[in-house]
Amino acid sequence: MMDLFTPLGDTVSVTPTTTTGALALTSLGGTGGNSVRVANLTDKTVFIRFGESDAAGVVATSMPIGVDGVETFELSTKVTHVGHIIASGTATGKIYFTSGQGA
């Protein structure tokens, strides 16, 4: 049986740009859970990479999240940040990351 995603922590968001950035996932671990729900509510595909404070999104090698895409990931306890970037132009909207448990 698959566990449904249950939000347990804060949601953080960012408007991605063509310069990589690292966003802190503030509620992972402990009561925040080790899963994160990603909702790309921008008008651009966003490339993301989970890691530590030096996580960097790279267009050529990071995971794409399409426009209006929603995905859930179970993460290592070492993950604290998510790197993000778009390939070109200017994004309208934000990409949201919500900490929790389940899929």
Query: pLDDT for 40-60, tens place per residue?
Result: 999 999 999 999 999 999 999
Total-model pTM: 0.92
Residue 42 lies in a domain: yes
> Is a pLDDT exceeding 80 seen at residue 29?
no
Q: How many domains does the chain have?
A: 1
Is 16 among the domain residues? no
Residue 30 is part of which domain span? 25-101
Written as one string, the DSSP assignment of 22-73 is EEE-TT-SGGG-SEEEEEEEESS-EEEEEESTT----TTTSEEE-TT-EEEE
> Does residue 45 fall inside a structural domain?
yes
Which residues share a beta bridge with 42? Answer: 93
Whether residue 53 lies inside any domain: the answer is yes
* 78 vs 29: which has the higher pLDDT: 78
Query: Strand 81-86 to strand 70-74: parallel, antiparallel, or no bridges (unpaired)?
Result: unpaired
Does any domain span residue 63? yes
15 in a structural domain = no
For residue 96, pLDDT beyond 90: yes
Q: Is the pLDDT of residue 86 over 70?
A: yes
7 domain-assigned: no
Is residue 60 one of the residues assigned to a domain? yes
